[in-house]
């Protein structure tokens, strides 16, 4: 089924069927990619026709480059700027990177030319989708574009050269200034965009309604497979990349936690380029047997593993990376009834219902993080109440509701154009 296989005359016969094309510099299986896929699903339910033009993390291994998910058409049109096998990036040489940038930009431009639409929406202001927007959307189609900012691209990415950082900084600066409208995920980014005087809508990250704990027999089997004894389980779910996910802060806190809770286990769910570094560090600690690494696992497996925890942790520093982020892992933890302990940065206190579904502590402070965790573990009644409140709080961030908020940006841009 090709949702866009219509001539201009046929398009005129479909009143109310507005078309949106997303230009994504990542795959839909990445955390940010899941944001756009879920928004797209909600837009389809509202009567929009949606196509996603995306870059694959490992295009050579991608056997199906066009498919439909819940009414959303997905085209993989090129390779991401960093090849990823699982969650581990493989850096390109400068010459290989140049080829990837050129071929993927051309692939995305071709995708735009094959996809007539009312709205072209960039997911993240980055070079490949930015160049495709300027050349194919603005110059060829003579249409405006919108941009979604869900991160601080300059500080969130790990670059191997200064020129790469400069390129990303340029596009992050330029594209919102040229966009007809902007969507963001946090108030921090909304405040930064306010000076541009463009229509702007805040759409946080969310969670699907059916994101719930697996049946008890599955959880019991998982506990046995992981050799989790009776005792508190503290979980971290996310990428192991220290430049923007300070898992080392959690490990420093865990060293203090086990003094008061000697049977506690730390379950680290996920992979990443710094996983070997973290594993080596843990192996040198006297409590190494109490830390369990799962490595890279599927999103469905993350749900099952995270559901084993008594609480989850989002360790952060007070920096641009943390202020700009609205972590998917927090929303998913809440939906599973797993309270969260994190730093008081950005929108996190609001996400946790100001203390009803978890707690915030001073950011970047391992002792404060340990204190918050130990206090919750020492108060089972409070932890149980938070678990129930967490699932209620998660309903505020249902993707279907958030997609309706997202759709308002198109009406705002129409009124101002």
Q: What is the 3-state secondary structure (H, E, C) of the chain?
A: CCCCCCCHHHHCCCCCCCEEEEECCCCCCCHHHHHHHHHHHHHHHCCCEEEEEEEECCHHHCCCCEEEECCEEEEEEEECCCEEECCEEECCCHHHHHHHHHHHHHHHHHHHHCCCCCEEEEECCCHHHHHHHHHHHHHHCCCCCEEEECCCHHHHCCCCCHHHHHHHHHHHHHHHHHCCEEEECCHHHHHHHHCCCCCEEECCCCECCCCCCCCHHHHHHHHHHCCCCCCCEEEEECCCCCCCCCHHHHHHHHHHHHHHCCCCEEEEEECCCCHHHHHHHHHCCCCHHHEEEEECCCHHHHHHHHCCCCEEEECCCCCHHHHHCCCHHHHHHHHCCCCEEEECCCCHHHHCHHHCCEEEECCCCHHHHHHHHHHHHCCHHHHHHHHHHHHHHHHHHEHHHHHHHHHHHHHHHHHHC
Q: Can you give the pLDDT at residue 17?
A: 60
pLDDT band at 49 (very low <50, low <70, confident <90, very high): very high
Q: Can you give the pLDDT at residue 114?
A: 96
Q: Can you give the pLDDT at residue 325?
A: 93
pLDDT band at 332 (very low <50, low <70, confident <90, very high): very high
pLDDT band at 299 (very low <50, low <70, confident <90, very high): confident
pLDDT over threshold 50, residue 7: no
189-211, pLDDT tens digit by residue? 999 999 999 999 999 999 998 89
Question: How large is the average pLDDT for residues 62-77?
Answer: 95
Residues in the chain: 417
pLDDT band at 86 (very low <50, low <70, confident <90, very high): low
* Cα(249)–Cα(234) distance, integer angstroms: 14
Q: Can you give the pLDDT at residue 233?
A: 96
288's tokens: 């190494």
Least confident of 10-14, 299-303, 342-346: 10-14
Q: What is the mean pLDDT of the chain?
A: 91
pLDDT band at 14 (very low <50, low <70, confident <90, very high): very low
pLDDT over threshold 70, residue 1: no
Least confident of 75-89, 142-156, 175-189: 75-89
Q: Could you give the percent of the chain with pLDDT greater than 70?
A: 95
Q: Can you give the pLDDT at residue 9?
A: 36
Distances in Å between the Cα of 214 and the Cα atoms of 90, 218, 229, 300 are: 34, 6, 19, 10
pLDDT over threshold 80, residue 87: no
Structural contact between residues 253 and 369, judged by C-beta atoms closer than 8 angstroms: yes
Q: Can you give the pLDDT at residue 245?
A: 92
346-397, pLDDT tens digit by residue? 999 999 999 999 999 999 999 999 999 999 999 999 999 999 999 999 999 9
Least confident of 19-23, 79-83, 181-185, 347-351: 79-83
Q: Which of 116, 106, 118, 121 lies closest to 175, judged by CA?
A: 121
Least confident of 38-42, 66-70, 95-99: 95-99
256-271, pLDDT tens digit by residue? 999 999 999 999 999 9
94-136, pLDDT tens digit by residue? 788 889 899 999 999 999 999 999 999 999 999 999 999 999 9
Least confident of 15-24, 110-119, 134-143, 173-182: 15-24
Q: Can you give the pLDDT at residue 199?
A: 96
Q: Can you give the pLDDT at residue 64?
A: 92
* Cα(81)–Cα(140) distance, integer angstroms: 24
pLDDT over threshold 90, residue 141: yes
pTM of the model: 0.90
Q: Can you give the pLDDT at residue 314?
A: 97
Q: Which of 207, 187, 280 lies closest to 242, judged by CA?
A: 280
pLDDT band at 91 (very low <50, low <70, confident <90, very high): confident
């Amino acid at each position: 089924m090709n949702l866009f296989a219509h001539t201009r005359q046929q398009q005129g016969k479909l009143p109310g069927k507005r078309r949106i094309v997303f230009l994504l510099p990542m795959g839909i299986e990445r955390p940010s990619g899941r944001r756009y896929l879920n928004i797209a699903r909600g837009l389809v339910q509202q009567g929009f026709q949606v196509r996603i033009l995306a870059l694959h993390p490992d295009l050579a291994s991608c056997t199906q480059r066009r498919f439909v998910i819940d009414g959303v058409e997905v085209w993989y049109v090129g390779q991401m700027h960093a090849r990823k096998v699982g969650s581990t990036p493989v850096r390109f040489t400068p010459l290989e990177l140049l080829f990837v940038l050129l071929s993927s930009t051309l692939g995305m431009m071709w995708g735009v030319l094959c996809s007539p639409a009312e709205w072209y929406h960039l997911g993240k202001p980055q070079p490949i989708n930015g160049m495709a927007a300027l050349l194919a959307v603005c110059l060829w189609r003579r249409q405006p574009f919108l941009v979604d900012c869900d991160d601080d691209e300059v500080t969130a990415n790990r670059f191997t050269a200064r020129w790469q950082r400069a390129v990303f900084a340029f596009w992050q600066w330029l594209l919102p200034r040229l966009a007809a409208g902007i969507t963001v995920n946090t108030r921090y980014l909304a405040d930064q965009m306010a000076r541009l005087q463009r229509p702007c809508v805040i759409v946080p990250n969310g969670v699907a309604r059916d994101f719930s704990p697996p049946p008890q027999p599955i959880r019991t089997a998982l506990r046995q497979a992981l050799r989790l004894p009776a005792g508190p389980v503290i979980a971290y779910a996310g990428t192991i990349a220290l430049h923007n996910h300070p898992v080392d802060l959690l490990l420093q806190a865990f060293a203090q936690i086990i003094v008061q809770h000697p049977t506690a286990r730390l379950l680290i769910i996920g992979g990443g380029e710094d996983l070997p570094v973290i594993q080596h560090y843990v192996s040198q600690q006297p409590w190494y047997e109490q830390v369990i690494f799962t490595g890279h696992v599927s999103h469905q497996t993350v749900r099952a593993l995270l559901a084993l925890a008594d609480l989850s942790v989002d360790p952060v520093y007070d920096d641009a990376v943390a202020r700009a982020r609205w972590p998917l892992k927090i929303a998913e933890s809440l939906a599973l009834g797993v309270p969260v302990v994190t730093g008081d940065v950005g929108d996190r206190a609001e996400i946790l219902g100001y203390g009803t579904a978890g707690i915030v502590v001073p950011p970047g402070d391992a002792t404060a993080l340990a204190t918050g965790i130990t206090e919750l573990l020492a108060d089972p009644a409070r932890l149980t109440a938070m678990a129930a409140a967490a699932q209620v709080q998660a309903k505020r961030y249902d993707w279907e509701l958030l997609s309706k908020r997202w759709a308002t940006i198109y009406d705002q841009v129409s009124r101002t154009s």
